Amino acid sequence: MRYYLVDLIKEWEAEKRITGVKNVAMTEDFLEYHFPKYPTMPGVLLLESMAQLAGWLEAVSSGFSRWVLIERVHQCKFYGFARPGDQVEITIEVVRSEGSGQKVYQGVGSVGGQRRIVAEFDGKVVPLAELERPEDQSALFQILSRGAPGSLSAEGAAFGS
């Protein structure tokens, strides 16, 4: 991935939900032109943060054997800007599974308890090994989660999570 848009994973419940944080720093290169003299995180990157969290949820729920790639956005609403210095807290929940290869997610991103984005999207579940090295992603998850409370499947625990 070019941009990792999740800086902290606070908690998760396998196959159900995950909560993470994106810190918006003034040094983010995407802020340089969006917008000059009024930098804001592009809304599409907030949506990408949600998609990455959905991927992390699928990874940790499967013992780092699967990931999810966003395919369709059903609905997305923006309620304000995420600006430098903001911590965007994002919660993703699995709405439903559509067979073994498709899942629907709903997410909310907020700053200081105020909504910034609400979205519903679906994604295709794919083997993680086709995208990244599973052991690298497992190690990165450990860094991002910092021992956060979460429930792992026995498979996930056996993988070294």
Residue pair 90/107 in contact (Cβ under 8 Å)? The answer is yes
Residue pair 59/67 in contact (Cβ under 8 Å)? The answer is yes
Q: What is the CATH number of the domain that holds 110?
A: 3.10.129.10
Q: What pLDDT does 147 receive?
A: 76
Q: What pLDDT does 161 receive?
A: 38
Preceding omega of 159 cis (within 30 degrees of 0):
no
On whether residue 137 sits in a domain, the answer given is yes
**CA-based end-to-end distance of the chain:** 21
**Residues in Cβ contact with 151 at an 8 Å cutoff, skipping those fewer than 6 apart:** 12, 13, 14
In angstroms, the CA 143 to CA 4 distance is: 13
Q: What pLDDT does 151 receive?
A: 61
On whether residue 152 sits in a domain, the answer given is no
On whether residue 158 sits in a domain, the answer given is no
On whether residue 28 sits in a domain, the answer given is yes
On whether residue 1 sits in a domain, the answer given is no
- Which helix (H) or strand (E) element contains residue 158? helix 154-158
Q: For residue range 48-63, what is the model confidence (pLDDT) as tens digits?
A: 999 999 999 999 999 9
Q: Write out residues in the chain with pLDDT < 50, as ranges.
A: 152-161
Pairing of strands 150-151, 87-97: unpaired
On whether residue 104 sits in a domain, the answer given is yes
Report the domain count for the chain: 1
SS3 content of the chain, % helix, strand, coil (to 5): 25, 40, 35
Residues identified as active-site? 34
Q: What pLDDT does 1 receive?
A: 62
On whether residue 151 sits in a domain, the answer given is no
Q: Which domain holds residue 115?
A: 8-146
In angstroms, the CA 150 to CA 130 distance is: 26
Q: What pLDDT does 160 receive?
A: 39
Q: Determine what percent of the chain is predicted with pLDDT higher than 90.
A: 81
Whole-model pTM over 0.75: yes
